[in-house]
Each structure stands twice: as structure tokens, then as C-alpha cells.
Amino acid sequence: MAVCVKTGLLAILLSIILAGCSSAPVNPAPNSNLSNQPTVTSSSTSFAAEINRNIAVAAMLSSSASSDYRLGPEDLVEITIFNIPEAMTLERGVTPRTNTVRVSQQGQISLPLIGEMNVKGLTALGLEKKLREAYDNYIYNPQVGVLIREFRQRVSVIGAVQKPGVFELTGPKSVIEMLAMAGGVSDKAGAQVHIYRQGANGRETHVIDLAVLTNSTGFINATNAATINLPVEPGDMVNVPEAGMFFVDGAVRKAGSYPLGRRYTLSQALATAGGVDPELNSNDVTIFRRQGPGEVQMIALNLSEVTSGSVADPQIQPDDVIIVPMSTPKFLVKRFVGSLIGGMSIGQFAH
């Protein structure tokens, strides 16, 4: 089974590489209004071809550790307790016992002595720790091992990719591997990938910069591939916005990606996203603007000053990420901009 899965992935990667090599470079129009932007924001086939070649290489270099995988419904888990005492068995001495259980739709498993246990969202190591704590009431210093036998979770890939759809995880996967499974990006793709996730503390958005996969030599290695290669989690939605888009998130009524079909100011961009929710907003806003692969400018503004005209209402540029912080702890939302800012966290926009 493992050989078949690996062969299938290699076939996908090979098709992406061949498709990339067959794409002809396209030069941008000389009078394009995006001429002052980094060339990587172009939606030309040359950009998509280079990205796809490097996605294929990065996916082959990727090492998705099973320890990153989070359990969910229908996963099959093998749990071994290695030191069950003689008094609890019909055998002499200490002996191991193994139970193979499937996670229910409610995210629970049922085990001897401890009964029902919620495991949804736990890693294998996290489940081992939880089981040791539970069995400590019955076994002295319990030694527990967890092995995930079947991975049954799903991740959606949408937007400017060759084959959008819902993909079943046959094991731990990274963002790059999911893009490879979706056939790579299309000629309309921009330079960002957005990952939407329901985390333990609420909704999360991760934004990574595909432009770090491009360079003057066209060479990609394990180090710079790893900088953007986040592991995906069950239920994630991976979105590749088309070129010429901007992204709004936080305390707005309609968070998401929007086409930059005309010149937008910050106020107009926020209005397009349904406007700011006054019950959640702290009156601040930050624009994250890419200056080049792996480089970002952070523009912090006060919305009241923008509205009153005391500070200029800035023009929005392609690939801008506009974050309107949330001020209510009830609506804790964590935001990350992956390697758009070199892997640093934007922060928790609730205080």
C-alpha cells in the first residue's frame, strides 16, 4: 500500500514538472499598472511554471512527520500499553496489551477501564500523554504507545489551482504536498496561499508567500522549501487567490479575498469586506505588504484618523493582507503570515 501511494505521488509530481517545462514565458505589458510591483505578482504562465516546478521539487523534499497529524473522525488508532501487571491479566509477569480503535464521528474512542475519551485534534504524542494520565489511576507509571494505522481526514484546495477539490489525507501532508495533489497552481494564481483553519481558540488564517519558491537560479532546496511548508490539519481549506487580489480578515463582516479590479483605498477595501464590526474592533488596522520574496512591510493605522482625514487613506496594492484586530477576548483569533514575514507570528488580535 505504501509503495502505491508513493508511486502515485511521484506521478503527480512528474506531471507538474513536465507541465511547468512546457509553459512559455510571457512578458508583462509595458504599460501595466502593476509595473511598479515585484514581478512575482504577475499572473503570467512563466511565474506559474516556475512555481509548479518548485512545488514538485519541494514536495519531494518534504518530510511530513506523523507527529504533526491531528486525529479526527474515522481515523484508526492502535494503542499499546506495555506494562500491564500480572494481577490484571491471566498471564504471569508484565505483558503488553494492544487495542485497535476507530475514532467516532464525535471524535471519541472507547477503551477498557477508562471508557469514552475525546481524542479529536490530538496528535499521537498528545494522545499518549492523555492516556498515561488516564491509566495512571489503574497502572503504576503506565507506558503507552500510539500508532495511527489509517488516516481518514480531508482537506479542501480551492482557487487558482489545476484540480480544485476535497482530498482525503492518506497520511500527514504539508501545504506544498496539497498543492501538488491539486495539480499545481494555474496561470491565474497570485503569489499567496491562504490556509483557513478552525483552531482550539477559534478561527485561524495562515498566509504564506509562494514567491520564496522563486529565485534567480530556479533552484529550490530543503531549507527554503521548509520555510513555507506548513503541515495541514484535518478540515483545513487551502485557498490560492488569483493574481491582483487583496485579503481582509479580523473584525470585518465578510472576511476573504477580493479582486483588485480598480484602485481601492483602505476605506474602500474595508467597505468591500462588509465594513468593520464596531463591537469587535479596537480601532486599529494593519496592512502587510510584500516587498519581495520573504520580505514584508507592516503599515499600522488608526481607523478613526483615516476616517477623519487626519492621515491619508492609503492605496491598496495586489497581495496586500489587511488585518482588523479583534478587541473582544470572546472572539480570540490567531493570525500567522507564515514566511510572508519569515515565519514570524502577526500576533493574537484580541486583548
Q: Contact 107/119 with Cβ under 8 angstroms?
A: yes
**pLDDT at residue 38 greater than cutoff 50:** no
Structure confidence at residue 28 as a pLDDT band (50, 70, 90): very low
Closest to 333 (Cα-Cα) out of 195, 202, 194: 202
2-26+34-65+153-348 CATH? 3.10.560.10
138-147, 273-282, 318-327: range with lowest mean pLDDT: 273-282
**Integer Cα distance of 349 and 192 in angstroms:** 21
Q: Contact 71/127 with Cβ under 8 angstroms?
A: yes
Average pLDDT over residues 319-328: 80
Dihedral over Cα of 125, 195, 343, 350: its sign: negative
Average pLDDT over residues 144-167: 92
Write the class of the CATH domain 76-150. Answer: alpha beta
What does residue 278 show for φ and ψ, rounded to 5 degrees? Answer: -65, -20
Specify the higher pLDDT residue, 292 or 14: 292
Q: Provide the 3-class DSSP secondary structure of residue 147.
A: strand
Percent of the chain with pLDDT over 90: 30
Alpha helices by DSSP H, listed for 115-228, are: 124-135, 175-181, 222-226
Residue 232 confidence (pLDDT): 86
**pLDDT at residue 150 greater than cutoff 80:** yes
Length reported for the chain: 351
Residue 5 confidence (pLDDT): 38
DSSP states of 74-107 = T-EEEEEEEEE-GGGSSSSS-EEEEEEEEPPTTS
**pLDDT at residue 127 greater than cutoff 50:** yes
Q: Where are the domains of the chain?
A: 2-26+34-65+153-348, 76-150
pLDDT digits (tens, 9 = 90+) for 105-123: 999 999 988 999 999 889 8
**Integer Cα distance of 150 and 133 in angstroms:** 25
Q: Contact 280/291 with Cβ under 8 angstroms?
A: no
Average pLDDT over residues 138-167: 91
Beta bridge partners of 297: 289
**Integer Cα distance of 107 and 122 in angstroms:** 10
Grid coordinates given for 315: 492605496
**pLDDT at residue 86 greater than cutoff 80:** no
Q: Are strands 237-240 and 115-118 parallel, antiparallel or unpaired?
A: unpaired
Grid coordinates given for 190: 497570485
Grid coordinates given for 43: 499572473
Side-chain-side CA neighbours of residue 305 (13 Å): 9
Chain Cα centroid distance, residue 13? 20
**pLDDT at residue 35 greater than cutoff 60:** no
Give the CA distances from residue 36 to residues 114, 142, 341, in Å, rounded to whole numbers and listed in that order.
63, 63, 21
Q: Supply the pTM of this predicted model.
A: 0.63
**Integer Cα distance of 150 and 77 in angstroms:** 7
Q: Are strands 245-250 and 321-324 parallel, antiparallel or unpaired?
A: parallel
233: how many CB neighbours lie within 10 A of its CB? 22
Residue 83 confidence (pLDDT): 83
pLDDT digits (tens, 9 = 90+) for 209-222: 877 766 544 444 44
